[in-house]
């Protein structure tokens, strides 16, 4: 077995992009018939529809499997009716153990070839995955296609490339010759990359493939068997990915249990039992902070987490306030704020944002932001498609209760947004709240969903200091600063970077705070409480294997 010429070329391209950090998108993000085939979109939709109400038969059922599944579409608010084979925790562990050695014995090129081939197989199901993502997460169609298809595949390939580089960066064998006067000591030395053990990947409800495949493919590329534990509300998108990988493994006469799907239900969860098993050595987790902290504290485990954070924007001075508002309104509306990178807090100096036409004070900015949001929400060609639907009813409840928060003025109330395709869609437009910097007990917590605070503060320096304090205490995955003053931008770069958060300056047009690009942006830094890992830096793969040296005298 060896890596194919085509896959080798793709791996080399990906590795080059990793270190140049230039734009690289091996999987086109636009669902063009020219790229994916004239009937690909219709075929994907039909495949999704044909799966509804049936057992998912693309996975290895395992020993003594039962069938579970309770996914519900946020668009139709009806069950998908799909069930998946589920086994006991001990069964998953035993099957992973049995498969481990055959996978560990393959070299880096062989594993890369298999994993890249699986991504190419998944590519053929991008449209099916898009509909599966829509109807489990509530994402709009275009976001569902891009995030769960091409962008997720990009992140998976990024993890493969980083792991392959780290596995092969040192020579595999050397003759070590040490002069000792009249004689030499000569040893043959060689090294094995030894996997750490079973890798469990715990998925989330809002981005079931994008947040899952980096850890899944990093674990597999470094030789570890992987058990994917999806969120019970969003199983189908990642089930398709695992099914395609299992097909490739079977075609190479390898044990399909090298990668298993371990679905459960909200009523009978298995995550705690699974991750605490002594055989599990590696855990990838995306989700809430409380459970993430518990994961990180487990003894004897190596963890890679992405948790919650409070993302802030500081506005000091701008060249074009309307362009800024348009950009930020889109960022707030995108997927109804159900993104880990979505901005929540907007700090505005009490004296106002400096613009060429005068100062824009906090209340006026709140009105402008509200108008920008309303214009997008009411746009019949964009509103419902950008907003999508609300994944979790708890998010809807949170939005409905913002008028009970103390010390805030509701500038824009949330409303139900009519979806022309799905009359029963669970929706909520963003709400804009005005408060001041002393009201940290309200804005100093993550309020997940379409909720935006405009916060009046004494000046930009205070806003930056408060932003840094929030990052230190609660974490952040994105941060925005708007200023035409180079000294303030330099101050912001130094201060915010020092607390481990990335900063985006003066974004307008078609690039948004929410977006992190594969092969260029390190998603989550691992340097603040929002998570201890980063997609995809060397640490994300190096901790998954150990280099073990062997040596013998040369006769």
Instruction: Please provide residue 201's backbone torsions phi and psi, each rounded to the nearest 5 degrees.
Output: -115, 115
Closest CA to 195 of 551, 553, 552, 542: 542
- Say if 19 falls within a structural domain: no
Burial of residue 202, with CB atoms counted within 10 A of its CB: 0-12 exposed, 13-18 middle, 19 or more buried? buried
Rg of the Cα trace of the chain? 25
Calpha distance 485→497 (Å, rounded): 18
Give the pLDDT of residue 61.
78
Tens digit of each residue's pLDDT, the chain (555 residues): 689 999 999 999 999 999 999 999 999 999 988 899 999 999 999 999 999 999 998 998 777 789 999 999 999 999 999 999 999 999 999 999 999 999 999 999 999 999 999 999 999 999 999 999 999 999 999 999 999 999 999 999 999 999 999 999 999 999 999 999 899 999 999 999 999 999 999 999 999 999 999 999 999 999 999 999 999 999 999 999 999 999 999 999 999 999 999 999 999 999 999 999 999 999 999 999 999 999 999 999 999 999 999 999 999 999 999 999 999 999 999 999 999 999 999 999 999 999 999 999 999 999 999 999 999 999 999 999 999 999 999 999 999 999 999 999 999 999 999 999 999 999 999 999 999 999 999 999 999 999 999 999 999 999 999 999 999 999 999 999 999 999 999 999 999 999 999 999 999 999 999 999 999 999 999 999 999 999 999 999 999 999 999 999 998
3-state DSSP call for residue 435? strand
The CATH number linked to 287 is 3.40.605.10
Which helix or strand (DSSP H or E) is residue 481 part of? strand 479-482
Looking up tokens 């989550």 gives 524
Give the pLDDT of residue 348.
98
- Say if 21 falls within a structural domain: no
Instruction: Please provide residue 45's backbone torsions phi and psi, each rounded to the nearest 5 degrees.
Output: -65, -40
- Say if 425 falls within a structural domain: yes
- Global confidence as pTM: 0.96
Q: Which of 486, 505, 524 is the last residue of a domain?
A: 505
- Say if 5 falls within a structural domain: no
- Say if 247 falls within a structural domain: yes
Q: Are 60 and 91 in contact (CB under 8 A)?
A: no
HSE-up of residue 355 (Cα within 13 Å, Cβ side): 17
Whether residues 61 and 183 share a domain: the answer is: yes
- Say if 22 falls within a structural domain: no
Calpha distance 528→467 (Å, rounded): 13
Give the pLDDT of residue 62.
73
Whether residues 358 and 211 share a domain: the answer is: no
Angle at 273 between CA 270 and CA 279, to 5 degrees: 125
How many distinct structural domains can be found in the chain?
2
Calpha distance 105→194 (Å, rounded): 9
Give the pLDDT of residue 1.
67
Whether residues 298 and 318 share a domain: the answer is: no
Whether residues 160 and 291 share a domain: the answer is: yes
Containing domain of residue 373, as a range? 312-505
Calpha distance 132→50 (Å, rounded): 12
Q: Are 120 and 92 in contact (CB under 8 A)?
A: no
Instruction: Please provide residue 21's backbone torsions phi and psi, each rounded to the nearest 5 degrees.
Output: 60, 20
Cβ count within 10 A of residue 274: 20
Q: Are 331 and 514 in contact (CB under 8 A)?
A: yes
Whether residues 261 and 320 share a domain: the answer is: no
- Say if 412 falls within a structural domain: yes
Closest CA to 205 of 335, 355, 56, 37: 335
Whether residues 316 and 303 share a domain: the answer is: no
Q: State how far Cα 172 lies from the chain centre.
A: 33
The CATH number linked to 499 is 3.40.309.10
Q: Which of 505, 521, 543 is the last residue of a domain?
A: 505
- Report the interhelical angle of 126-137 vs 40-51 (nearest 10°): 50
Give the pLDDT of residue 478.
97
Angle at 539 between CA 536 and CA 540, to 5 degrees: 45
Upstream peptide bond of 343 is cis (omega within 30 degrees of 0): no
Whether residues 64 and 156 share a domain: the answer is: yes
Q: Are 111 and 223 in contact (CB under 8 A)?
A: yes
Give the pLDDT of residue 192.
96
Whether residues 299 and 319 share a domain: the answer is: no
Cα dist. 16→26, 139, 538 in Å? 12, 32, 14
Residues 6+ apart with CB under 8 A from 144: 129, 130, 131, 133, 134, 137
Calpha distance 7→13 (Å, rounded): 10
Closest CA to 3 of 168, 171, 192: 168
Whether residues 214 and 337 share a domain: the answer is: no
Whether residues 352 and 408 share a domain: the answer is: yes
Calpha distance 428→384 (Å, rounded): 10
- Say if 402 falls within a structural domain: yes
Burial of residue 341, with CB atoms counted within 10 A of its CB: 0-12 exposed, 13-18 middle, 19 or more buried? buried
- Per the DSSP assignment, residues forming a β-bridge with 189 are 174, 551
Whether residues 121 and 259 share a domain: the answer is: yes
Which helix or strand (DSSP H or E) is residue 119 part of? helix 108-123
Q: Are 140 and 274 in contact (CB under 8 A)?
A: no
Whether residues 292 and 383 share a domain: the answer is: no
């Amino acid at each position: 077995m060896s890596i194919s010429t085509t896959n080798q070329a793709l791996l080399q391209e990906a590795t080059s992009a990793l270190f140049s950090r230039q734009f690289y998108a091996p999987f086109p993000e636009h669902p063009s018939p020219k790229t994916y085939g004239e009937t690909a979109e219709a075929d994907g939709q039909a495949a999704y529809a044909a799966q509804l109400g049936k057992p998912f038969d693309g996975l290895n059922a395992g020993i003594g499997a039962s069938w579970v599944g309770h996914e519900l579409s946020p668009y139709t608010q009806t069950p998908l009716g799909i069930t998946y084979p589920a086994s006991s925790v001990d069964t998953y562990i035993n099957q992973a153990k049995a498969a481990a050695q055959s996978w560990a014995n393959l070299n880096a090129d062989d594993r890369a070839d298999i994993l890249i081939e699986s991504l190419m197989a998944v590519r053929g199901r991008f449209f099916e995955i898009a509909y599966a993502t829509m109807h489990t997460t509530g994402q709009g169609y275009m976001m569902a296609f891009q995030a769960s298809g091409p962008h997720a595949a990009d992140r998976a390939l990024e993890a493969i490339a980083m792991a392959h580089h780290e596995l092969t960066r040192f020579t595999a064998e050397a003759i070590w010759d040490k002069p000792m006067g009249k004689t030499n000591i000569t040893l043959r030395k060689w090294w094995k990359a030894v996997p750490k053990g079973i890798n469990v990947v715990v998925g989330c409800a809002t981005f079931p493939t994008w947040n899952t495949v980096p850890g899944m493919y990093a674990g597999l590329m470094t030789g570890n068997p992987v058990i994917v534990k999806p969120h019970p509300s969003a199983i189908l998108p990642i089930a398709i990915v695992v099914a395609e990988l299992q097909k490739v493994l079977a075609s190479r006469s390898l044990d399909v249990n090298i990668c298993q799907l371990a679905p459960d239900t909200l009523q009978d969860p298995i995550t705690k039992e699974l991750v605490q098993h002594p055989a599990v050595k590696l855990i990838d987790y995306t989700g809430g902070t409380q459970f993430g902290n518990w994961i990180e504290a487990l003894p004897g485990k190596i963890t890679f987490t992405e948790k919650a954070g409070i993302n802030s924007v500081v506005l000091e001075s701008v060249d074009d306030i309307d362009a800024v508002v348009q950009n930020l309104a889109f960022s707030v509306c995108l997927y109804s704020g159900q993104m880990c990178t979505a901005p929540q807090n907007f700090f505005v100096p009490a004296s106002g944002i400096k613009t060429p036409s005068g100062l824009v004070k906090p209340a006026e900015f709140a009105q402008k932001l509200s108008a920008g949001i309303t214009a997008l929400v009411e746009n019949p060609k964009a509103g419902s498609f950008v907003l999508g639907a609300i994944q979790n009813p708890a998010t809807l409840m949170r939005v409905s209760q913002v008028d009970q928060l103390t010390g805030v003025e509701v500038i824009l109330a949330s409303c139900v947004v009519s979806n022309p395709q799905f009359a029963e869609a669970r929706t909520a437009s963003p709400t804009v709240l005005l408060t001041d910097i002393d009201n940290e007990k309200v804005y100093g917590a993550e309020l997940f969903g379409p909720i935006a605070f405009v916060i009046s503060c004494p000046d930009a320096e205070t806003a930056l200091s408060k932003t840094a304090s929030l990052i230190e205490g609660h974490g952040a995955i994105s941060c925005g600063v708007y200023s035409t003053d180079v000294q303030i931008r330099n101050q912001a770069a130094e201060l915010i970077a020092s607390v481990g958060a990335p900063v985006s300056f003066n974004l307008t047009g078609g690039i948004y705070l929410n977006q992190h690009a594969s092969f260029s942006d390190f998603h989550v830094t691992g340097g603040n409480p929002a998570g201890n890992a980063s997609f995809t830096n060397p640490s994300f793969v190096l901790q998954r294997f150990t280099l073990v040296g062997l040596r013998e005298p040369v006769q």
